[in-house]
Structure 1
Amino acid sequence: MLYLQQSSCGKGWRFAASDHRGWILEGFPENQEQARLLQSSGIIPRHVVVLYAADTVLIERNSGKRLDPLTEEVYHTTFDWPSDVRIQQRLVEPDLSEEEMSKQLLEYHRNFPGVFQIYQKILRSINADQPCVDVLSQALTYVQTQHRSAAPFTPRMLFCGPPGSGKSLQAALIAQKYGIVNICCGQLLKEAVADKTKLGELVKPYIDSGYPVPDNIVMKILEKRLNAPDCMTKGWVLRGFPRDIEQGERLQKACIIPNRVFFFNLPYESIIERLSQRRIDPVTGERYHMTLRPAPTPKIQARLKQNPKDKEESIEKRVDFYHRNAKELEEFYEDAFYVNADQDPYPIFEFIESCIIKPLP
């Protein structure tokens, strides 16, 4: 979930976040460019809540704020005054003046339409000029709802392509717009291990040793997930499986038959350029690209590490494995669409979307 708000709208709620429980982000993005940066990084919220109130109300709220310099707790002269006299005596006014507050609001109003355009399908506006309990109740009600799929049919889609071809990003964008379930086979196996299921216990030795998980185990996990109620009702987009014709035949035998298949095509030189220059900051976990998104400071640049999978010899093996099996898979899925992945993400997304709304073959 993502919170967007005008200053002093009262967005100070905090929720625990994890891979399984979800996350909440507030204060970012502040403009359309930042929103697109989130999308290009694969960070796709399911719900966006916009808190709004009249500028006069927000300026008045800000003028009543007081800060405890010892604990950094924020209080308010009208709505949240501490009962402890010692706390009252040490409170100080924030540095933000009424004039600076007005400038921030003006900047917000200037940038918000661009952000709204990105998230309008999943965005809910809530009036923050009401009791905090009511605002929280409306926000919780919205984030607990499930979006209906906007697709013209129940999508069952496969994304096939070499590493670095952008399958993950496009799957995330399609899943967000059409409300379908985004499934990565590799991630599904890791989740089974993390959840310590019986199948996960069978998968763990293979993942730990770096060997491929046997197809029969993968199929059991995939069948269970793709036959879950959310996949059956909303549809799904799957990547990472099948990787050869035998796996495709296993899917078909299990009656898991996609109605849209996309093959992403990307030249080897572009794959190398995209993957071999990726780096990760071991301190913050932030990901960078030596050309497209370099580290902001020399200090960060000096400590960046490369994932062994992104070394050229490893990339070459993975690409070679894909191309050895791609021809047979393309013949197996004879009605597939072919995507030129060597271009910006948004033209690719528009092409995929145009194929989704075409009649079934």
Structure 2
Amino acid sequence: MSGRAAKRWVALLGTLLALSLGVGTAADATAGGTPTASVPTANAPVVKKVVGKGTPASCTETALFAAVRTGGSITFNCGPNPVTIKITKTLRTCNTHNCKHPWEGGKPLTAMTLDGGGKVTLSGGGKVGIYYANSCEESFGWLSSRCDKDATLQVTFKNLTFVSGNATKGVPDKESVGGGGGGGAIAMRGNKLTVVNSTFKSNVCVKAHSDAGGGAIRVVGVKSVKISGSTFSGNKCANGGAISSLGSPMSISTSTITGNAATGSGASSGKGGNGGGVYFDGASQNVTISSTKITKNKAGKGGGGSGVFYVSNNRGGTLTIKGSTVTGNTGEAFWTGSRHDLFYLGKKLSISSSTIS
């Protein structure tokens, strides 16, 4: 949360105290647009939407932007052939139906599902990140004074291809997702994320940073991350060439993560380079990798975990790898035991029916 946001929440807490002591009134609480206490409000309905009217030309960036912004269950009608929609302004989903706080009439969104039907490619053109959501973004509507703990909105991507997203500069005029940012295809803070049967190619973020990461996907404080049946290739960032999690529990299953690179150097005390394929840094959050192939990814100079990098700073988190292959990854300067493709610090490392170099 920015300094400006923090100041507004300090004002909110002062208002709540005044109300509890009988000093103020509800009218006082909303004067001048100052946030009030949590206002009981019904969630917004999940609306079905269709982008396009049967032709490729009708599937415009403008129509997609408007649909995604206010959530719902979104599909495409772009004709029988595959289409590519070039994104020039990062797609985003607000936390409420009108992007205003609940005390200003905003109804919390519970779902944003985007299903490409296996025919839609979203391209950042090498210039912008493709998608951004943030429970602590003020202009999206705050749901509570602890926006970092909000998990009302479920974001789901299905049957899509994300290519050439670039999160190097972040989203103009919006908060960073934290920890230096990242996520050339998907950048999220808070709420929940599910990715199904999707492809991520040649997405990038900042080249060098101690914490920033996720050439394709960056999640910070997201309460549930589930990735299945998806492919990641040619993605690059300072850490976590394909996927980077900061304090977000993850489940990665039946996926292929190959040919991605952590481009930083010097590891965490320098400018990154950890996690050529997958990167996790957090506390007691657990990560599970199952039936997944992680190969030919590369750590940066001085970095570790060329395939998988996992650090639980309070040693309270568990990494589970089952039925998976983590081999042929390169560039690591440090690793765990005899497994060069893996670096792990945490409560428990569980490996079963897997091959790890």
TM-score range, shorter chain: under 0.3
Greater share of strand: 2
Greater share of helix: 1
